[in-house]
Amino acid sequence: MDVGDAIRSRRTHKQYGAEPLGEDSLRDLIDLARYAPNHHLTQPWRFRALGPETRARIEGAAGAKEAMKLRRAPTLVLATTTLSGDPLTDEEDLHATAAAVYAVLLGATERGLASYWRTPACFGEPAVREVLGLGANERVVALIHLGPPVSDPPGRERLPLADVLTFLP
Ligand SMILES: Cc1cc2nc3c(=O)[nH]c(=O)nc-3n(C[C@H](O)[C@H](O)[C@H](O)COP(=O)(O)O)c2cc1C
């Protein structure tokens, strides 16, 4: 699969098979994030693969309804940015981390995995942040869901190219 095919065929998956990614596969996938473009190479992204104990504690802190949603994917990876406090750097670092997350989603697609970029509100709550060991200056960017696909979600309608691309003289 070439990059264009991965970009066009990636979908948000909300259902997954049961098999989690092995540690080697996960390392290979998250390694792609390190190559994202990043001004001044601050490399602000941090990834946490959530193990069973952590997941159980988060589910406990998040409440029953959210816990059900968190159980949808067999593999969850939290992506955060460490903020410096400088507004311009922070903006660029958030963009760079988003690019890093997208690299992971595209890599997952290329490997035949289902994925989903989710930003659950509960990851902003102190009890959940404490379980994850998030620093005060760490911003959650994505809870990346990964696993075997069990469906083929339809593509969501996009604006036509003519609406989003302008050639200036
Ligand atoms: C920054 C960001 C946050 C997102 N957070 C959520 C979320 O919390 N819940 C959700 O259902 N989808 C979330 N999504 C996924 C989008 O809803 C999804 O990408 C969009 O509907 C387009 O569908 P597609 O990914 O299949 O192309 C998020 C996507 C991005 C980029």
Each residue of 7-29: pLDDT tens digit?
999 999 999 999 999 999 999 99
Closest residue by Cα to atom 19, ligand 1, is 12
Binning pLDDT at 50, 70 and 90, where does residue 48 land?
Answer: very high
Closest residue by Cα to atom 29, ligand 1, is 117
Binning pLDDT at 50, 70 and 90, where does residue 149 land?
Answer: very high
Residue 155 belongs to a domain: no
pLDDT at 120: 94
Residue 133 belongs to a domain: yes
Counting from 1 in the atom list of ligand 1, the atom nearest the Cα of 13 is 26
Binning pLDDT at 50, 70 and 90, where does residue 90 land?
Answer: very high
Residue 156 belongs to a domain: no
33 by DSSP, 3-state: which? helix
Binning pLDDT at 50, 70 and 90, where does residue 125 land?
Answer: very high
Residue 93 belongs to a domain: yes
pLDDT at 163: 98
Residue 2 belongs to a domain: no
CA dist., res. 110 & res. 50, Å (int): 22
Distance 168 CA to ligand 1 centre (A): 31
**For residues 49-63, average pLDDT:** 95
| Domains of the chain: total | 1
Structural domain boundaries, residue 118: 17-150
Residue 163 belongs to a domain: no
pLDDT at 148: 98
Distance 19 CA to ligand 1 centre (A): 23
Binning pLDDT at 50, 70 and 90, where does residue 153 land?
Answer: very high
Residue 102 belongs to a domain: yes
CATH of the domain at 34: 3.40.109.10
CA dist., res. 159 & res. 136, Å (int): 38
Angle (nearest 5°) at CA 135 between 133 and 140 = 85
Distance 12 CA to ligand 1 centre (A): 7
Binning pLDDT at 50, 70 and 90, where does residue 167 land?
Answer: very high
Closest residue by Cα to atom 20, ligand 1, is 12
Angle (nearest 5°) at CA 133 between 146 and 71 = 30
Residue 10 belongs to a domain: no
Contact 116, 69 (CB under 8 A): no
pLDDT at 47: 98
| pLDDT-above-70 percentage for the chain | 100
24 by DSSP, 3-state: which? helix
Which amino acids bring their CB within 6 angstroms of ligand 1?
11-12, 117-119, 156
CA dist., res. 68 & res. 50, Å (int): 16
Give the predicted TM-score (pTM) of the model.
Answer: 0.97
